[in-house]
Structure 1
Amino acid sequence: MNNTVNAQRSQYNRDVILTASPARLLTMLYDRLLLDLGRAEAAQLASNWAASTENLLHAQDIVAELSSSLDVDAWDGADGLLAVYNYVSNALISANVDRDVERTRESIALLEPLRTAWHEAAMQLPAPATAPAVSAHPEFATGNLGVG
């Protein structure tokens, strides 16, 4: 029974990701990023270093995806956003290696306003008639970067 529920949940997450618009994918990445950081912070406070590491590494993967998909030539603020991503990436490494909850909190404080801004921007876009499928990133198809 539990395997069936997990398989259905995975399929649902995969379908949501594969049919999401680019704006929705971005907001989903930010949502999962902040979820990972919240979980990492809680794990650090509980001295659960394995859970902390797992969540911080996943957060680093998301920041790397955000950085690599950022088109710095598309708008004037892109270089600044890339600098934030680079700073947060280094902070997450430090948070993990040094078991430093303050670096995790600093990352949350930097990223939370960006998540809010991206959600607000995405809500102002017209809904696409049909969302393009995303197949270039296998982590999307497996649900590794999905929400939940």
Structure 2
Amino acid sequence: MTMTAPNLRDRYLQDSVNTASPAKLLIMLYDRLILDLSHGEEALSQGDRELANEKISHAQEIVMELMVTLDVEAWDGAPGLANLYGFILTELIGANVAKSPERVAGCRKLLEPLRDAWREAAAAAAG
């Protein structure tokens, strides 16, 4: 198999995921989630229903993954985080049906500080 640029990129990304720590994986998921929400919000604003649906649906899959991997017994804040994930999932489904970039933006604005907090916690734990 020849190594084209897309093949090399895919291999690098797969290697990055395979070797990432749990904290790094969590941050990677949050980064992709925020990116999907930004792209979904933009696509809805521009009337690109197909792209918006693709991005918002992928964001929903990430939120579901975050929900099922969350250990609600691990710390006192976990049940609240589980509830937030449930709210976000419901809101994204509603936003997709209603074609509402504002509702997608609301979800993104709730998740960005969480992503930043996880990033800071990971950096503090590593340092």
TM range (shorter): over 0.9
Superposition CA RMSD, Å = 1.1
After TM superposition, the structure 1 = structure 2 runs for residues 81-120 of structure 1, keeping only pairs within 5 Å, are 81-120=81-120
More moved, 118-127 vs 70-79: 118-127
For 1:10, give the aligned amino acid. D
**3-state SS of 1:125 partner:** helix
Residue 73 of structure 1 aligns to a residue in which SS? coil
Percent same amino acid among aligned pairs? 47
Alignment-mate amino acid for residue 103 of structure 2: R
CA distance in 1, matches of 2:53, 2:97: 9
Letter in structure 1 aligned against 2:6: N
Distance 1:122 1:57 in 2: 28
Q: Distance between the aligned counterparts of 1:125 and 1:59, measured in 2?
A: 27
Cα distance between partner residues in 2 of 1:46 and 1:28: 27
**Residue in 1 aligned with 2:4?**
4
> 1:27 corresponds to which residue?
27
- How far off is 1:5 after superposition? 1.1
Correspondence for 2:42: 42
Moved over 4 A (4+): none
The CA deviation string for residues 94-115 of structure 1, in whole angstroms up to 9 with x for no partner, is 1111101111011011101100
Which structure has greater helix proportion? 2
Aligned-residue offset at 1:126: 2.5
Specify the code of the residue in structure 2 equivalent to 1:104. V
Q: Distance in 2 between matches of 1:42 and 1:7?
A: 28
Which structure would you say has the larger RCO, counting Cα contacts within 8 Å and 6 or more residues apart?
A: 1
The amino acid of 1:59's aligned partner reads: A
Distance 1:25 1:74 in 2: 18
How many matched pairs? 125
Q: Letter of the 2:5 partner, please give it.
A: V
For residues 48 and 126 of structure 1, what CA distance do their matches in structure 2 show?
A: 41
